[in-house]
Amino acid sequence: MPRTEFSPSIATRPVYAALKAHGSAPALMLADAEGAEALIELAAADPAVMDRAHLIYIPAGAAHGPRLRELGAKMYHEAPSFSAALERYRKALLDAKMGTQLYLAGTEGLIGQAAAEALAAGLPADAIQSEHRGSIARRMQCVHCKGVTEDVTTDPFVCSHCGLTLFVRDHFSRRLGAFQGVCVDAETPGIVPEMKEIKA
Amino acid sequence: MSALELRVAAVEPLSPLVTRFRFEDPAGATLPLFSGGAHIVVEMPDEDTLRRNAYSLISDPLDGSGYEIAVRREDAGRGGSRFMHARVKPGDTMRVTLPINLFSLDLRAKKHVLIGGGIGITPFLAQLRQLQRLQMPFELHYAARSRAEAAGLALLPDLPQIHVHISDEGNRMDLGAILGSQPLGTHIYTCGPEGLIAAVDETGARLGWPKGALHSEAFLAPPPGTPFTVTLKSGRKIEVGAHQSLLEALEAAEVEVDWSCRGGACGRCETGVSSCHGRIEHHDHWLSDEEKAAQTKIMPCVSRFTGESLTLDL
Ligand code: FES
């Protein structure tokens, strides 16, 4: 699947450019599902990028694992979910030295959470590269109960934590790595606009 | 510029070249507090020229009882530091601006590494106090060719985080080692000669440091040059002397220009150029390379001109 080009209409959404190799500098790589293809293309452009790379992959049903493993990263690890990979990822951030390159590829939820962790670990935003691939489903935080609903594809949607019907705001929080959802029928309980598919 | 009239409370030589000055409010009032890295601009009425030099504050940022600066005598300089050394006495009244910080600590950092050379240690003295108060991890590296040139030694407290590198004693600063082993979230601050700043930038780029984690402040004095003339919108012509900056010439002619750092760093004095026949000698760190090439803007505090004519939007 090719790189997703979002229209620049959402001002708070991070810009997901194409990954660019920084040679054989120490690297931390995190990808989910179709994001694997971004790393495969990165390694094709500059194989040295894998020399000192620690690569963590979350397949989420995709079959790219074996090809990724063959790229020759110094360390390769697969995890069933971001939360399962988190302990390893945090440890890698803790041990990393300045100059380490962070490459993120895949869905917005993965990129957002991984970038938020890295920022909290002290990595400046300009040291983080990310490329969007695959599903454009959104990771949504409910502003009322603060619960996060993954893979939201419709607007409005039902919060998987408190059950309110939420309007999908075009406001991305870098700290949370999620968009924000607000109760759509607070003033007119029960009157909910028709559900539409999220297209961008 | 909002200015304070302060009394010189102490003048203390720290080394043959470096003198510490302390300013206090004449009525004993508390001065506005600042943050580590801030500077003030000191006005020096020297015969018929009014000199204004920027100096980093070296006293405790949370101590409003006075402001302290350290001035290195530059015998080949334009005269400001000589004036401070030769003419300023305790009890004098001097005008200084309110503190401004163009070199503050990035408090999102997990660790701060301060790299100073020569008299470029001054902004770090206030930052050290701030870092100690905040209990943040830091290291300071101070480099000089010889002990005699290490003007800042007398100013540095005795702390285990402070490393002094004297190259004559075979203890040269190894930037690769310093930048190569820092934990994620470290920010670097460099102050001193341009060569030191360039070396840190190059080492950082080679080791993959993000630009946003590298900060620097160069002490830029307006460079001398050949005299030139500028024309104002009204058609009035202003002569700029060899050892005068364009900003000083405009001020002497009572043309109002806003300023803050007087060292090409803050952007406040940016002035439009409506026509330029010749070449602007840009010396600032403010305009981008494209803006410099376009020759439609000039920073009068440090930049000069050679050529036929230069007309300013003033
Ligand atoms: S006064 Fe700061 S750039 Fe000129």
- Burial class of residue A65 in the structure, from the number of CB atoms within 10 Å of its CB (0-12 exposed, 13-18 middle, 19+ buried): middle
Residues in B closer than 8 angstroms to A96, CB to CB, are 183-184
Q: How large is the angle between the packed helices A108-120 and A82-95, nearest 10 degrees?
A: 30
pLDDT at A46 over 90: yes
Q: What residue in B sits closest to A23 (Cα-Cα)? A: B208
In which band, very low, low, confident or very high, does the pLDDT at B267 lie, cut at 50, 70 and 90?
very high
B225 C-alpha to center of ligand 1: Å?
Answer: 18
Q: How far apart are CA B2 and CA B16, in angstroms?
A: 33
Establish whether residue B299 lines the binding site of ligand 1, counting it when its CB lies within 6 angstroms of any ligand atom: yes
Establish whether residue B124 lines the binding site of ligand 1, counting it when its CB lies within 6 angstroms of any ligand atom: no
Give the mutation candidate from A24, A28, A98 for the B interface (greatest B CB count, under 10 A): A98
The fold for domain A27-132 equals Rossmann fold (3.40.50)
Say if pTM beats, i.e. exceeds, 0.90: no
The fold for domain B3-101 equals Elongation Factor Tu (Ef-tu); domain 3 (2.40.30)
Establish whether residue B265 lines the binding site of ligand 1, counting it when its CB lies within 6 angstroms of any ligand atom: yes
Domain boundaries, chain A: 27-132, 138-197
Which tens digit of pLDDT belongs to each residue from B207-253? 999 999 999 987 678 888 999 999 999 999 999 999 899 999 999 99
Supply the DSSP symbol for B207.
T
ipTM score: 0.80
B85 C-alpha to center of ligand 1: Å?
Answer: 25
Q: What residue in B sits closest to A22 (Cα-Cα)? A: B208
Mutate to test the pocket of ligand 1, among B250, B268, B297, B303 (most ligand atoms within 8 A of CB): B268
What pLDDT does residue B1 have? 58
Give the CATH number of domain B228-312. Answer: 3.10.20.30
Dihedral over Cα of A59, A62, A67, A71: its sign: negative
CATH class assigned to B111-218: alpha beta
Q: What residue in B sits closest to A123 (Cα-Cα)? A: B185
Q: How far apart are CA B251 and CA B281, in angstroms?
A: 20
Which tens digit of pLDDT belongs to each residue from A56-76? 999 999 999 999 999 999 999
Residues in B closer than 8 angstroms to A93, CB to CB, are 184
Which tens digit of pLDDT belongs to each residue from B58-100? 999 999 999 999 999 988 888 889 999 999 999 999 999 999 9
Q: Contact B116/B140 with Cβ under 8 angstroms? A: yes
Shortest distance, CA A180 to any CA of chain B (angstroms): 24
Q: Which phi and psi angles does A50 have, rounded to 5°? A: -90, -10
In which band, very low, low, confident or very high, does the pLDDT at A14 lie, cut at 50, 70 and 90?
confident
Domain boundaries, chain B: 3-101, 111-218, 228-312
Supply the DSSP symbol for A118.
H
Q: What is the mean pLDDT of residues B264-280?
A: 94
